[in-house]
Amino acid sequence: MPTDHAAALPGHPFFHYQDGTLFAEAVALTELAQQHGTPLFVYSQAALAHALDAYQQGFAGRNVGIHYAVKANSNLSILQFFAEQGCGFDIVSAGELLRVLQAGATPASVVFSGVGKTRAEMQLALRTGIGCFNVESEAELAVLNEEAGKLQIRAPISLRVNPDVDPQTHPYISTGLKNNKFGIPHERALQVFQQAAALPWLEVRGIDCHIGSQILSERPFLDALDKLLDLVAAVERCGIALHHIDCGGGLGIQYQTEVPPQAGALWQKMFAHADARGYGDRRFLIEPGRSLVGNAGVCLTEVLYLKPGEDKHFCIVDAAMNDLPRPAMYEAFHAISPVVPRAGTPVTTYDVVGPVCESGDWLGRDRALAVQAGDWLAVGSAGAYCMSMASNYNSRPRAAEILVHGSEHRVIRQRESFAQMIETER
Ligand SMILES: Cc1ncc(COP(=O)(O)O)c(C=O)c1O
Ligand SMILES: N[C@@H](CCCC[NH3+])C(=O)O
C-alpha cells in the first residue's frame, strides 16, 4: 500500500495519497468520481504552473516565446490558463486557431505549423493576423503567397527545416528524420529561403524545426540546434535577416521509469550552446506540448468486472481506447494506481482493458493490482494526447474534464450526452 503523501504516480508531483485516498492537490479523487462519474479526466492547475515554471527557470535574461502546442490538450480552460501566463500557441488547424482565440490568445502570439494547411485555413489565419506561418514545403510557400496576395496581406513566415536528426523515440512520433513528411530538407533550405524572400506577399521572419515527441535525451535537441544555427548563418549571409529561431517542442515526460531532461537545465545548455556560437541573444521560440500538460492529468475509471482466465486475468474498466488511445496506438505505458488502495485483497496480475470491441483496447498490460469491481483506478500521464485524441468509437460519448485548483475544482468539459454525440447526423 502506498504511504501517505508519496507521489502516487510516476512524475506527478501534485497527485498524492492522503488518508488512504488519492488526491489531486487538496481534492479527493473519490469525491470527483462520485460527483461527476467516470471515465473522468482530472487536471491539476498547480502541476500546469509547475511544468511551465520548469521551462521559465532556463530562460532568465533570455528572449524566449513559449508557444504551447495546442494538440497536446486543447481544452479551452487549459488554453486560457496558458494565455493568462503569457504563453503563445502553436496550432495546426483552423479549429485550433478558433479555440485559442476563444481562450483569449492574441493573434500575434500564434504560430501555425502543419504540412497540409488548406487555402481556407490560410485565409482565416491571414485575416486574423497570426504571428507566423511555419511553412513546410515549397508548394505550400507558393499557395500561401497566392492567398496572401488575394487578401493584400503580407504573410509572416518561417521555414520549418527537417534537420535529419534522430530523436530516438517511437517511430510514429519522430518528425525530424529525412523520411518523415515534415519540413524542408535542410540541404534545400537555403535555396527555399531565397525563393521565399523573393515572393512579394511573404515576409521571412524565422526558421523552425520540430524533430519529434517524447524525446528523452538532450543530444537530439543540441544537434538540431546546431543544424538550425548553421542555416541561420547561411541565410543571413545572403542578406535575409531572421527575427526568431523556433526550436519546436518534443521534450519527454516520465510515464514509468524514464528520466527526461529537466526543461530548465536543457534550455540552459541550449543557450550555452547558442552563446558559444554567437546567437544567444537572439529571440528563440519553443513549442512544448506534452511536457507542459502530460503529468498534470489523470483519467479516473471504474472497475466494471474482474474476469479471471487460464492464461490472463482481465480487469475490465469503463475507460477505453476511445478515451485514452495511446496504449492502443503506440503500445504506450501509462501507470495505473487504485484511487483507494485496498488492504486484504490479494494482488493479481491483470490486463486492464476497456469495453471497446477490439483486442487492442487495453490501457495497461500485466499490472499487479489488488482490486474489486466498483473500485476506481487512476490512469497516469493522461494530460497530454489523451482527451485531445479521444473519439466516439463504439458510439461512446466523450468523457468529462475537471480542473482542480487547491481545494476547488470546476468542470471544464461536460460529459458528452448521447444526444450531442449524434446531433449532427441524419
Ligand atoms: C510542430 C510541432 N510543434 C510542437 C509539437 C509538440 O510536441 P510535444 O508535445 O512533444 O512537446 C508537435 C508535436 O509533436 C509538433 O508537431
Ligand atoms: N500523439 C502522440 C504525439 C504526437 C505529437 C504530435 N506531432 C502521442 O500521444 O505520443
Q: CB within 8 A of 331, min separation 6: which ones? A: none
pLDDT of 397 reads 98
Choose the residue to mutate in 162, 172, 324, 388 for probing ligand 2, maximizing ligand atoms within 8 Å of C-beta: 172
Is this prediction's pTM over 0.90? yes
CA distances 155 to 116, 149, 329, 426, Å, are 17, 9, 36, 40
Of residues 167 and 398, more confidently modeled:
398
Whether 5 has a pLDDT exceeding 70, the answer reads: no
- What residues are paired with 348 via a beta bridge? 369
Three-state secondary-structure class, residue 137: coil
Residue with cell 462520485: 34
**Residue 62: CB within 6 Å of ligand 2?**
no
**Could you give the domains of the chain?**
15-44+294-422 (2.40.37.10), 106-288 (3.20.20.10)
- Yes or no: say if 306 and 315 are a contact pair by the CB < 8 Å rule: yes
- Yes or no: say if 381 and 11 are a contact pair by the CB < 8 Å rule: yes
- What residues are paired with 367 via a beta bridge? 350
Distance from chain centroid for Cα 102: 19
- What residues are paired with 353 via a beta bridge? 316, 362
Whether 166 has a pLDDT exceeding 90, the answer reads: no
Indicate which ligand has the atom closest to the C-alpha of 249.
1
- Please state, as a whole number, how many other Cβ atoms lie within 10 Å of the Cβ of residue 286: 29
Distance from chain centroid for Cα 393: 22
In this prediction, does ipTM exceed 0.85? yes
Whether 97 has a pLDDT exceeding 80, the answer reads: yes
Helices (H), 129-206: 138-151, 186-198
Q: Is 212 annotated as a binding residue?
A: no
